[in-house]
């Protein structure tokens, strides 16, 4: 007989766990991950892009302010220029978002400027996680300016301390001043020794190295296109140690025509500057100016805008010579107290031109009788009975102060100064050359910034004050 439990058969089954809330949890975790990815891609990416733009803005602002300070003729405010360049790199950036934080040496040969800018960047998804609706993006930059320590140059040397007119290297020159250079192989001045040509292939040579000619073709290429490599100076600071460069023989008048052609293309040129006290002769010994050098001692560079090239027989270059002579005016008698003006004799015979002389020295005025000794001229302020007349060099008058005299011969020496040309006054020489230039003391041209002598040619660059990459200020 089968046993039976009261109440009927009993069945058993296993119950599974209740998973009705898992989906909600997974969705919540997925949303957090999605928002994190959105924040990373959109918000952090936006911050990185804004920072890149802000770095460009700060760099541009610092360089613009440095350019304004390096150019002493620039009247634009460095702060305003920095703000303009910063704003041109970041939409919405305004002057109130930053500016110059440090400025040293503005309108001088060396210095630096630091800028700082900060703008908010909107956050689109970070706010959902309570991270705020925006974040500031701030950048700073420093730029410095100083003398150029190297450059791409033309093969024509300039003498330190010698230029015609107002220009002296490096002193006494402002951007735009007219500077003239006179090159004459026989003249003990600027350009002596092969008209100032240099062999740029023999830059920074040993004192005993043999110099040779580069040739007209190479000089032509360098004049029209500049030397193809950056030429640097020795020493620390640059230019403080000798940098010897061979002069170039084989002068060719065609190279001056090349210079005229260059003037039509791009007339702003960089010239090496020679210290004639340190130049060398063929034996390698110091041969101070005005001796003809075998090697120049280059100590700097300067920029000039070429405006005219004249031959040495052109009056525009060398002017017109002064005149002079001895005048024998047609007067043969004086009465006591008579005042006679030399101007009545101008424009006649060997007398001065009608415009008058520039000089009539009292020692050159003479009055003779027909027979006997020359009449005595009174010394300034002398009214004694021993002198016959006095001469007033200002009014150019003769005043007779003794009894009347006849049969006299009057003569006087005179001279005019002439008219100087663009390169001053020189004898006519068809082989000489006169270069007329405008000083361009500021340039953004090639070459590292050095801290040597300032020859008016400046460069500027970004730098870091903390690591000491900015040039030394003075």
Give the chain's domain count: 3
**343-371 pLDDT, tens per residue?**
999 998 889 999 899 999 999 999 999 88
Judge if 264 and 361 occupy the same domain. Answer: no
For residue 289, which of 190, 378, 218, 196 has the smallest C-alpha distance? 190
| Confidence category of residue 36, pLDDT binned at 50, 70, 90 | low
Does 193 have pLDDT greater than 70?
no
The set of residues, in sequence order, having a beta carbon less than 8 Å from that of 311 and lying 6+ positions away, is 317, 430, 432, 433, 434
Contact 112, 470 (CB under 8 A): yes
**6-33 pLDDT, tens per residue?**
444 444 454 555 565 667 776 666 666 6
**306-339 pLDDT, tens per residue?**
999 999 899 999 999 889 999 999 899 999 999 9
Whole-angstrom distance, CA of residue 126 vs CA of residue 454: 54
Whole-angstrom distance, CA of residue 102 vs CA of residue 120: 23
| Most confident of the ranges 120-124, 162-166, 222-226, 469-473 | 222-226
Judge if 362 and 256 occupy the same domain. Answer: no
Judge if 155 and 274 occupy the same domain. Answer: yes
When mean pLDDT is compared across 56-65, 236-245, 413-422, the lowest value belongs to 236-245
The pLDDT of residue 18: 57
Judge if 183 and 97 occupy the same domain. Answer: no
For residue 243, which of 198, 283, 212, 213 has the smallest C-alpha distance? 198
Whole-angstrom distance, CA of residue 442 vs CA of residue 372: 71
% the chain with pLDDT above 70: 81
Rg for the chain (alpha carbons), in Å? 42
Judge if 51 and 81 occupy the same domain. Answer: yes
The set of residues, in sequence order, having a beta carbon less than 8 Å from that of 170 and lying 6+ positions away, is 160, 273, 300, 302, 453, 454, 455, 456
Does 395 have pLDDT greater than 50?
yes
Judge if 125 and 176 occupy the same domain. Answer: no
The pLDDT of residue 229: 87
Judge if 283 and 154 occupy the same domain. Answer: yes
Query: What value does the mean pLDDT of the chain take?
Result: 84
The set of residues, in sequence order, having a beta carbon less than 8 Å from that of 79 and lying 6+ positions away, is 65, 99, 100
Judge if 396 and 440 occupy the same domain. Answer: no
When mean pLDDT is compared across 273-282, 339-348, 387-396, the lowest value belongs to 273-282
Q: How does 261-282 read in b/e, with b if 16+ C-beta sit within 10 Å?
A: ebbeeebebbbbbbbbebbbee
DSSP assignment string, 285-314 = -B--TTSPPSEEEEEEEEEEEEEEEEETT-
Which domain range does residue 78 map to?
23-147
Contact 276, 160 (CB under 8 A): yes
Scan for tokens 């997974």, then name that residue: 26
The pLDDT of residue 5: 43
Average pLDDT over residues 98-127: 87
Which of 102, 127, 147 is a domain's end point? 147
| Confidence category of residue 209, pLDDT binned at 50, 70, 90 | very high
Contact 403, 286 (CB under 8 A): no
Whole-angstrom distance, CA of residue 359 vs CA of residue 432: 30
CA angle at 342 for the pair 336 and 343, rounded to the nearest 5°: 130
Structural domain contains residue 463: no
Average pLDDT over residues 246-262: 84
Average pLDDT over residues 30-57: 76
For residue 305, which of 442, 201, 171 has the smallest C-alpha distance? 442
The pLDDT of residue 14: 47
Which of 147, 162, 185 is a domain's end point? 147
Structural domain contains residue 9: no
Judge if 49 and 164 occupy the same domain. Answer: no
Contact 246, 258 (CB under 8 A): no
């Amino acid at each position: 007989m089968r046993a039976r439990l009261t109440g009927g058969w009993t069945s058993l089954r296993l119950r599974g766990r209740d998973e009705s809330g898992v989906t909600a949890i997974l969705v919540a975790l997925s949303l957090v991950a999605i928002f994190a990815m959105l924040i990373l891609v959109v918000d952090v990416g936006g911050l990185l892009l804004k920072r890149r733009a802000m770095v460009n803005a700060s760099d541009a602002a610092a360089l613009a302010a440095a350019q304004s300070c390096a150019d002493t003729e620039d009247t634009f405010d460095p702060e305003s220029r920095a703000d303009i360049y910063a704003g041109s790199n970041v939409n919405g950036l305004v002057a109130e978002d930053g500016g110059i934080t440090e400025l040293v040496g503005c309108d001088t040969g060396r210095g630096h400027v630091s800028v700082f800018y900060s703008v908010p960047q909107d956050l689109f998804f970070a706010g959902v996680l309570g991270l705020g609706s925006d974040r500031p993006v701030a950048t700073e930059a420093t730029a410095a300016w100083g003398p150029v320590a190297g450059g791409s140059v033309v093969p024509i040397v300039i003498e330190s301390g010698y230029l015609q007119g107002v220009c002296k290297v490096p002193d006494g020159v402002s951007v735009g001043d007219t500077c003239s250079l006179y090159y004459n192989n026989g003249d003990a001045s600027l350009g002596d020794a092969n008209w100032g040509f240099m062999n740029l292939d023999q830059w920074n040579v040993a004192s005993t190295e043999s110099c040779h000619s580069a040739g007209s073709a190479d000089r032509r290429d360098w004049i029209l296109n500049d030397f193809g490599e950056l030429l640097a100076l020795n020493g620390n600071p640059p230019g403080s140690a000798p940098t010897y460069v061979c002069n170039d023989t084989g002068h060719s008048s065609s190279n001056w025509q090349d210079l005229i052609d260059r003037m039509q293309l791009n007339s702003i040129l960089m010239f090496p500057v020679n210290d004639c006290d340190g130049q060398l002769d063929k034996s390698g010994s110091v041969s101070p100016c005005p001796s003809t050098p075998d090697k120049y001692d280059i100590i700097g560079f300067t920029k000039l805008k070429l405006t005219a090239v004249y031959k040495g027989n052109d009056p525009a270059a060398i002017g017109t010579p002064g005149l002079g002579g001895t005048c024998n005016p047609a007067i043969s008698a004086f009465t006591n107290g008579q005042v006679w003006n030399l101007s009545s004799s101008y424009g006649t015979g060997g007398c001065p031109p009608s415009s008058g002389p520039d000089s009539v020295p009292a020692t050159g005025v003479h009055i003779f009788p027909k027979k006997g000794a020359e009449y005595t001229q009174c010394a300034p302020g002398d009214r004694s009975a021993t002198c016959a007349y006095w001469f007033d060099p200002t009014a150019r008058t003769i005043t007779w102060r003794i009894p009347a005299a006849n049969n006299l011969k009057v003569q006087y020496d005179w001279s005019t100064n002439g008219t100087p040309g663009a390169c001053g006054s020189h004898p006519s020489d068809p082989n000489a050359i006169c270069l007329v230039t405008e000083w361009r003391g500021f340039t953004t041209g090639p070459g590292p910034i050095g801290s040597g002598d300032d020859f008016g040619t400046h460069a500027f660059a970004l730098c870091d004050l903390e690591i000491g990459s900015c040039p030394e200020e003075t």
